[in-house]
Structure 1
Amino acid sequence: MKKLSILLSILFLLLLPACSDNKNDHVWIAGTSADNPPYEFMQNGEIVGFDIDLINEIGKFLGKKLEFRNMEFHSLLAALSTNSVDLVIAGLSNTPERSSRVDFSITYISSEIAILYRKEDNFTNCKDLKGKKVGAQLGTTWNLIANELATANDFTITSLSGNLMLVEELKSRRIDALVLEEAQAKKFIEIYPDLARFAEKNLSSSFAIAMPKNSPHKQDIDRAIKALKNNGTTQALAKKWGLAGAK
């Protein structure tokens, strides 16, 4: 009887990982950085936004449930490499450096770059920023663009881990402007009417979902993105979140 009990215990331990794996097959852990309205941000204690709605729709299309992990933007790709998350959706652009570390889906939306500033300063273009301090979120494509603009227009860059911190720096006059995405700038102006923006028409950002290298989910996610664009779901979500002009 004792031997039978031991054998049953061993069998249970062997089967337990398999059962857990099967359960996890139906759930994706999505990493995001909820300080980028209207793509992902906190509202009444929940993460909401365009990206959140979109990945939930992708999950429905593919029969998956989503759980979210909120973290600083610059730590998202590291979370992929350690398998802490299954995918990342956070207004993330596909760059050569990033694509050497992770796989990307096809683009799900594109939009222009904007400069956010205090309305009283009345900036109209990047030349007005000469000698100024300009903020950008650490680890983002906007940070790379900000550094290129700084070289061309002779201003300095302050990089911080979150846009919410950067907006506070702007309001407190510790920086003079902030480089970010057009829809984000519009959202912050809705919240803080004393801010204004101008768009950089020749600069745009395209967003994609990041996955670990050789992810088995890439083809399915690409298929879902195409289907949601074709059936109008992506456009409806873009309109809901004030991204109607996004491509």
Structure 2
Amino acid sequence: MVSIINYTKFALFGLCAIVCLSSCGEKKKDTTVLKVGVCADYKPFEYFEKGQIVGFDIDLFNEVAKRLGKTAVYEDMSFDAILGALTSKRIDVSISSISVTTERQKNYDFTTPYLKGQYSLLVKKDADIKTFDSFKDGILGLQAGSTYEARYEKELKNKYPGLTSQVMSKIPDLLQSLRADRVSAILLGRSEASCIMKGSEGISKVDIDFDTPGEEDPGIALPKGSLLREDMNKVLLEMEKDGTISVLKTKWKIEA
């Protein structure tokens, strides 16, 4: 009888120890610091200036974190590594102009979009291009892996059978192709197109619209099932209503 009682006490002690360790582990995860993945080469949203990562997305997320009582610590990485970093828990969250697409939502959670995607074509200043009809038999420059590439595949090449594409990984390479007349125009988001145009002599921007809605609106990316999404959505709604997002858009000259 004594041995049974002792065993029971030992078992209960062990269970308490496990619960305690589990609780301690949970407390360590409940940190006020959020590790945020970004690809800091996308001016004006996230880029390096004097050794610091700055931009519209950075200011926006800093405010989100502040209202949640947290602090953001940013980690620069290649864009195609961000979602994998979320999966491996190397980062807690990412804000890096990541479009909320149906495909991405299968494996990751997103906040409601904080901007509306708008489109522009980068063209040479002497080119007579106002719409896709202006170069329906031309070549469209696209960045590899972008939602703009997906837009071409799903819509443009069917609507304009004579319009072909040149897909490249880097925007500077696409600009070089545009200057050399290897592409007729480059399809980009409106704000990034404006930034590129200002720093590129001989290049102009043509704003365009599509007939069908796309999946270019950016949101904050989170691991699947993250409890932060609901809280972040509430904060983003507050920031929209109190004008904070509008102020940031004006500061960074965001056309969305």
**Worse-superposed segment, 173-182 or 159-168:** 159-168
- Determine the C-alpha separation between the residues in 1 that align with 2:100 and 2:112: 9
Instruction: Please state how far the C-alpha of 1:172 moved relative to its aligned partner.
Output: 4.7
Q: Secondary structure at the match of 2:91?
A: coil
Residues 22-41 of structure 1 aligned to structure 2 (within 5 Å): 22=28, 25-41=31-47
- Determine the C-alpha separation between the residues in 1 that align with 2:223 and 2:192: 27
Given that residues 115 and 178 in structure 1 are in contact (C-alpha distance below 8 angstroms), is that contact kept between their aligned partners in structure 2? yes
Which residue is equivalent to 2:251?
Answer: 240
Which residue, out of 148, 152, 158, partners 1:151? 158
Which residue is equivalent to 1:120?
Answer: 126
- Determine the C-alpha separation between the residues in 2 that align with 1:85 and 1:172: 40
Instruction: Please state how far the C-alpha of 1:109 moved relative to its aligned partner.
Output: 1.1
Which residue is equivalent to 2:217?
Answer: 206
Q: 1:164 to 1:225 in 2, by over 3 A?
A: farther
**Worse-superposed segment, 55-64 or 30-39:** 30-39
Q: Secondary structure at the match of 1:189?
A: helix
Which residue is equivalent to 2:16?
Answer: none
Which residue is equivalent to 1:84?
Answer: 90
**Worse-superposed segment, 25-34 or 128-137:** 128-137
Which residue is equivalent to 2:62?
Answer: 56
Matched, 1:175 2:186: no
- Determine the C-alpha separation between the residues in 2 that align with 1:47 and 1:134: 31
Unaligned runs of 5+ in 2: 1-19
Q: 1:134 to 1:42 in 2, by over 3 A?
A: farther
String of CA shifts for 1:17-49, please: whole Å, max 9, x gaps. Answer: x58963871111111222322212222332221
Q: Secondary structure at the match of 1:180?
A: strand
String of CA shifts for 1:55-89, please: whole Å, max 9, x gaps. Answer: 11111111111122222223321221121211121
Which residue, out of 82, 99, 104, partners 1:98? 104
String of CA shifts for 1:164-186, please: whole Å, max 9, x gaps. Answer: 44334434544332111011111
- Determine the C-alpha separation between the residues in 1 that align with 2:186 and 2:208: 12
- Determine the C-alpha separation between the residues in 2 that align with 1:173 and 1:70: 33
Given that residues 36 and 163 in structure 1 are in contact (C-alpha distance below 8 angstroms), is that contact kept between their aligned partners in structure 2? no
Which residue, out of 49, 52, 65, partners 1:43? 49
More strand by share: 1
- Determine the C-alpha separation between the residues in 1 that align with 2:184 and 2:51: 30
Structure 1 length-normalised TM: 0.83
Q: 1:40 to 1:196 in 2, by over 3 A?
A: same
Name segments (4+ residues, structure 1) moved above 4 Å: 18-21
Q: Which has the larger radius of gyration?
A: 2
Unaligned runs of 5+ in 1: 1-13
- Determine the C-alpha separation between the residues in 2 that align with 1:176 and 1:54: 35
- Determine the C-alpha separation between the residues in 2 that align with 1:173 and 1:47: 34
Q: CA RMSD in A?
A: 2.6
Q: Secondary structure at the match of 2:232?
A: helix
Report percent identity of matched pairs: 29
Q: Secondary structure at the match of 2:112?
A: coil
Which residue is equivalent to 1:73?
Answer: 79
Q: 1:93 to 1:114 in 2, by over 3 A?
A: same
Instruction: Please state how far the C-alpha of 1:240 moved relative to its aligned partner.
Output: 0.4
